[in-house]
Amino acid sequence: MPPKPEPEGEYVDAFDWKTVVGAFFVGLVMMPAAIYVSLFAGQGLDQAAIWVTIILFAELARRSVSALKKQEMYLLYYVAAGLSGGGVFAGLVWNQFLRQSREAAAFGVAQNMPTWAAPLADSPALLERKLWHPDWLPAIGLVLVGQVLSRFNWFGIGYALFRLTSDVERLPFPMATVAAEGAVALAESPEKKESWRWRVFSIGSMLGLGFGMVYVGIPAITYLIFASPLALLPIPWKDFTPALQNILPATPLAISFDLGSVLWGMVVPFWAVVGTFVMSVVSTLVANPILYNLGFFPTWRKGMSVLDTQFATSFDFWLPVGFGVALAVAGVGVWQLVRMLKRKEAAVMAADMELLLGKEGILRFGKPQTGPRVIPKGRGDFPVWIAIAMFLVSTAGYVWVCHILVPRFPLWILIFFGFIWTPITSYISARMIGLTGNGVWFPYVKEGSFVLSGYKGVDIWFAPIPLNDFGGVAAFFKQLELTKTKFTSIIKAEILMFPISIGFSFLFWAFIWHLTTIPSYAFPFANKVWPFNARTSSLWMTATSEGRAWLLEALLKPNWIGVGFGFGWVLYWIVDIMKWPIFLFYGAVGGINNQIGGWPMLSMIGALLGKFWLAPRYGEERWYRWVPVLCAGFACGMGLVSMLAVGITIVQGTVVTKPF
């Protein structure tokens, strides 16, 4: 018998004037704040932009004696998330720094970068810090082409994977329900405005405003008055590595004072935080001094900072070990998928999800369902062959662009990545997400292909390689279905977001970079971290350089790769046999060689406060409903301070200099 149609809900085309105004609001107001705070404190404003936009429009709707539909709220959520980062031109500002950095020059990378990645070092475009200079046209053109191709690419294959995994195979996508409900968390009627969500969000906002003024506001404002900013709290951390080098040699140790990391530790699964913290202590505080005394860290020297120590210990020992662990994590993901596929009863999977989410969890599984389902009417579907054609044409565009940019790189590798590897890995990942909520990650595929190809040159590292994992896009379409949002709404939203993202990103990056050098003392986080990132990126690029292959010297140590691979599997089997939460395993592998005083320590403090003090005090179920909204409010408060700081900076810069 043919399958019966599922109950049809009313799918809504949520694209309207609210979406248009919301997109311009995020691009004009939140994007410059996001750029500024990422450079200044290394933080993002994704959640701040999302919730500020949603609350603003929810309030406007309330005053109009109406309410936002959940579909309108979800589309605003999507648009705000897509526009709240630094924008597409952040990469060009990074490339200009790499071209001029001493770190990249030391590895022979800076002088060999292609001009379609960044102009030459003696170009007026760099000397005068002009992103609108004609020498930037090749790089800007490549960004525009990449943005067009990427949208066709992910939308085409993502929709096809959704139809296959959700409509045909009927996978449950357990975490899609959680994400969909979180996106429309404030979709309440006007008379419920004074609910717990609004109160908790307001408390978080006040925390964010107070902390943001101390952490970001005062340093940003004082930098406009004095030669260097006045920081009441060290940004991004206080480095104790040189002071403790005699007691804890070769141990990267710094203390961060970011309150946001404490709150984030209350949101992340408790055992993931525990795993990261414990492994950070074991690998850095315990193992590093022992390994140094055994002679495993010849690159490390006394007096090195926390980032220099992190780089030296990684180069000498932890890089091959981490590579082996990454291979083990990929193997564990495949093993979990195979084991899940062997389960014949959907009820078994439901029991697992009940263990994961608790008996009062969000998900509820009914009777096992098999066979393709009837496509709900009004969902906004279109023929699958069109989606496949979109993917094939855009992938061919990627291959053609890469071949034009790097003609000596083997064409067959680009074709293999685009037309074979990407679809296969995306399907595996989509199926894993559909079954368990977690994807599968295959590490160092791109890097390994560059090395094994025998190609010499650093330009391949800047080319838009058609290598992606689009498994998560299938879950995104599932969220659209769960919120009853028409798929055509996303098409319209993407058409709107494209010019806004391009225009505002170019405008604000060009303006901020022209005001002052990036990085510089005006941006403490970037000033400390960007040189370290440049050194790490350049190390990887030496694998295909004409000169000394520093990366291969550090990475190709089969014995230590094997140790890491074996350690990863042993750790997984211990967690599996002891029936400990799988989050403990993934948290632990992420904590290897992770300096203890930054995110791990603060998040551990937050996790302990949440689980053993706040959750018992307010009730576990209530607390874990509160804390995501509290963090969103905190991010909102930080965002408001950042917007104030960037506004003052732009006004002051406009008075001092005229960039246009």
Cα distance between residue 420 and residue 428, in whole Å: 12
User: How far is residue 328's CA from residue 439's CA, in Å, rounded to a whole number?
Assistant: 15
Would the pLDDT of 216 be above 90?
no
Q: What pLDDT score does 231 carry?
A: 75
What are the pLDDT digits (tens) for 161-173? Answer: 999 888 887 877 8
Q: Lowest mean pLDDT of 45-49, 65-69, 237-241, 308-312, name the range.
A: 45-49
Q: At what angle do helices 620-656 and 259-267 cross, to 10 degrees?
A: 150
- What is the per-residue pLDDT across 89-131, written as a single tens digit (0 to 9) for each? 988 999 999 999 998 888 888 888 999 999 998 899 999 999 9
Tens of pLDDT, residues 222-234: 776 766 677 778 8
Find where tokens 């293999």 sit: 416
Closest CA to 627 of 257, 200, 270: 200
* Pairwise CA distance, residues 516 & 514, whole Å: 6
- What's CA 481's distance to the chain center, in Å? 24
| d(C-alpha 479, C-alpha 464), whole Å | 29
- The tokens of 409 are what? 């790189």
Cβ atoms of 160 and 384 within 8 Å: the answer is yes
Report residue 363's pLDDT band, with 50, 70 and 90 as the boundaries.
very low
The answer for residues whose C-beta is within 8 angstroms of residue 318's C-beta and 6 or more apart is 283, 592, 593
Question: Which residue type is seen at 45?
Answer: L
> What is the percent of the chain where pLDDT is above 70?
82
Cα distance between residue 437 and residue 356, in whole Å: 11
* pTM for the model: 0.79
| All residues at 6 or more sequence positions from 523 whose CB lies less than 8 Å from its CB, including other chains | 39, 40
Report the alpha-carbon distance of residue 506 to residue 513 in Å, rounded: 11
Q: Which two tokens stand for residue 172?
A: 């449950």
CB-side neighbour CA atoms (13 Å) of 371: 8
- The b/e string for 178-207 (b: 16+ C-beta within 10 A; e otherwise) is bbbeebbbbbbeeeeeeeebbebbbbbbeb
Cβ proximity of 607 and 17 under 8 Å: no
| Statement: residue 156 has pLDDT above 90 | yes
The predicted pLDDT at position 337 comes to 66
